[in-house]
């Protein structure tokens, strides 16, 4: 089945595992979390072969400050300031288990793990973290965003091309280390 699916699905979709599930299983409604990765190019030389999958920021932000801001954002909060859907009727409370920032040669990789994310939430979080890293936003303003619940106060929406849905989690006990 896995081989058949991979042969006929579009090139940008790959099935890595096939598992039998109960008849009433729903891939979206039974998800207990997601892992997203956002890649940011910070070097002087563009990554031309990866240009569709990485945000070419072109500047080097202060990753230490970005990590401090990420610590403020991790946890269970009302993330309304980070939701692009202004008419959201459902709860905007979500839990971010971790925001991990890693530096590579000319690149920052941010991994977000949470129980669910709002419309454009990862991209707005990334824009906000970049503003902190560029010293255009203070750490205290990040904490205030969780209180004011106003999208206009949060950072810019980073482009979609740096964002990848890495994994959908289905077990409440499944940890990030078990999934990668």
Q: What digits encode the pLDDT tens for the residues 28-56?
A: 889 999 999 999 999 888 888 999 999 99
What pTM was computed for the model? 0.89
The pLDDT of residue 5 is: 96
Number of separate domains in the chain: 1
Better-predicted residue by pLDDT, 75 or 179:
75
In a domain, 18, yes or no: no
Confidence label for 173 from pLDDT (cuts 50, 70 and 90): very low
Structure tokens at 170: 């289905």
In a domain, 177, yes or no: no
In a domain, 102, yes or no: yes
Whole-number percent of the chain with pLDDT over 70: 95
**Among 59-68, 84-93, 134-143, 166-175, whose mean pLDDT is lowest?**
166-175
In a domain, 22, yes or no: no
In a domain, 26, yes or no: no
- Check which CATH number belongs to the domain holding 123 and give it: 3.30.70.660
Residue-number span of the structural domain to which 64 is assigned: 32-170
In a domain, 97, yes or no: yes
């Amino acid at each position: 089945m896995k081989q058949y699916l991979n042969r006929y699905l579009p090139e940008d979709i790959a099935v890595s595992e096939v598992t039998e599930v109960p008849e009433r299983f729903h891939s979206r409604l039974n998800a207990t979390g997601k892992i997203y990765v956002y890649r940011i190019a910070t070097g002087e030389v563009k990554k031309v072969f990866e240009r569709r999958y990485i945000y070419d920021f072109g500047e080097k932000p202060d990753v230490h400050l970005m990590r401090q801001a990420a610590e403020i954002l991790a946890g269970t909060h009302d993330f309304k300031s980070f939701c692009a859907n202004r008419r959201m009727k459902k709860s905007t409370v979500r839990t971010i288990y971790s925001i991990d920032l890693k530096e590579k040669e000319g690149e920052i990789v941010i991994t977000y793990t949470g129980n669910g994310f709002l419309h454009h939430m990862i991209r707005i979080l990334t824009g906000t973290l970049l503003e902190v890293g560029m010293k255009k936003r203070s750490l205290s303003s990040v904490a205030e965003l969780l209180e004011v619940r106003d999208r206009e106060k949060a950072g810019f929406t980073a482009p979609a091309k740096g964002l990848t849905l890495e994994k959908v989690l289905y077990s409440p006990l499944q940890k990030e280390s078990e999934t990668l």
